[in-house]
Amino acid sequence: MKYFVVLLLLLAMACSVQKLPAPGEQQVKQAAKRFPQVTLAELTKGKMLFEQNCNKCHKYHKPEEHTELEWMSIIPVMSSRAKLDQVSQSYILKYAVAFAKQPDGNP
């Protein structure tokens, strides 16, 4: 019985640690279509900020859930809900855009 409780606890912990995708060169290219000067460091910072601020009121909405256009309107609203400054907001937007769903199914 004790083991069962421990197992349940472990399971709950595993579920609460949600992983967001880490950006790489491919994502830099993707994000550069909208933000030509974007760097991998900025995307990495965006991931960190996303993880720190975007699951407080709901679970993470993963970047690939929305298209770039959707993110362009969602991020400003959510950033103000999360009380983020402009700089943090821009990192999060770049990160989301880098992994955004492709509207026409083409990369």
- Residues at the contact surface with ligand HEC, assessed by CB under 6 A: 53-54, 56-58, 61, 66, 74, 78-79, 81-82, 92
Nearer to ligand HEC, 2 or 19 (CB): 19
Identify the DSSP state of 100. Answer: P
- Nearest approach in angstroms of CB 99 to ligand HEC is 12
Q: How far are the Cα atoms of 11, 93, 102 from residue 71, in angstroms, in the given order?
A: 32, 7, 12
d(CA 24, CA 16): 25
Decide whether 47 or 66 has the Cβ nearer to ligand HEC: 66
The Cα–Cα gap between 99 and 23 comes to 8
Q: Smallest distance, Å, CB 2 to ligand HEC? A: 36
